[in-house]
Amino acid sequence: MYTSTARVDTADHGDLAKLYWRFRSRHHQIRRLIHLHLKPGAQIVEIGCGRGELGYIMKDDPYGYTGYEPASGLSRFGQQHGVNIIHDFFKPQTAAPADAIVIDNVLEHVLDPQQLLADAVSTLNGGGLAIVIVPNRNDLRQMVPSWRDARHWIPPDHINYFSMSDVRRMFASCGLQATPFGFHALTVRDYRYFPRAVLETAKISLLGHNVYAVKPQPLETGAMLAQ
């Protein structure tokens, strides 16, 4: 589902003087997924990183982090706090290979979400992680008008809305299998999110879509010849 009259630029450029950190539980969950799947030295690329919260909480982790953010105020805020942010759109032609691609609440803002995901996956090394969070067009919380009008149905900023079947098709078109975060990204201290994890494990999607996939390793030349 998408809006029919979308702006070309849906980035929130913001007033630098009024910006502040907005750390969310999902930032820590993304970090745990990365620690769970990747070895030290892995390169993390976040597309549409905003202020750079993920990069900030990972600044002492044994990984390289690069964020791309076209919004001037947001990118400058993160840069001023020591986060490695490139003030530009992500371009696969110039991006370095990555071991994890993070697209956190970004695909709902862009004109061609399928193409952006495909571009991102094209730079992902075999065995790498593709981590995507998008709004759920069937989100249960939209029944509360105050939440719906402030965080969900907010064109012209959000111009795309996704069902889980949409997300799975998008991943499948890139050769990936989308897997909900479930319990993979949680610790005992995250007990508040256990009900959500149970629902995701049962393939019931009532809130936003938090998914990841591991990119298959390319076949070795010898294995291909043997086949």
Query: Average model confidence (pLDDT) for the chain?
Result: 88
Residue 223 has pLDDT above 50, yes or no: no
171: Cβ–Cβ under 8 A, 6 or more apart, which residues?
117, 130, 132, 177, 178, 211, 213
Q: Can you tell me which residue has the tokens 């050769």?
A: 175
Q: What is the pLDDT of residue 224?
A: 40
CA gap 95, 153 in Å, rounded: 32
Are 98 and 130 within 8 A, CB to CB?
no
The three-class DSSP label of residue 162 is strand
Are 130 and 104 within 8 A, CB to CB?
no
Beta strands in the chain (DSSP E): 43-47, 64-68, 85-86, 98-104, 124-134, 179-180, 209-214
How does residue 21 score in pLDDT terms, banded at 50, 70 and 90? confident
Residue 39 has pLDDT above 60, yes or no: yes
| CA distance readout (Å), 173 to 116, 117, 183 | 12, 10, 26
Q: What is the pLDDT of residue 16?
A: 61
Are 38 and 100 within 8 A, CB to CB?
yes
How does residue 222 score in pLDDT terms, banded at 50, 70 and 90? very low
Tokens of 128: 């790498």
Q: Give residue-wise pLDDT tens across range 123-182.
A: 999 999 999 999 998 888 888 888 888 878 877 788 889 999 999 999 999 999 999 999
Lowest mean pLDDT among 13-27, 95-109, 183-197: 13-27
Share of the chain above pLDDT 90, in %: 61
Q: Can you tell me which residue has the tokens 């949409």?
A: 166
Q: What is the pLDDT of residue 225?
A: 42
CA gap 196, 210 in Å, rounded: 11
Closest of 172, 131, 148, 147 to residue 48, by C-alpha: 131
CA 78 to mean position of chain CA atoms: 17
Tokens of 213: 């996939």
Burial class (CB in 10 A: 0-12, 13-18, 19+), 20: exposed
Q: Give residue-wise pLDDT tens across range 165-192.
A: 999 999 999 999 999 999 998 988 888 9
Q: What is the pLDDT of residue 10?
A: 60
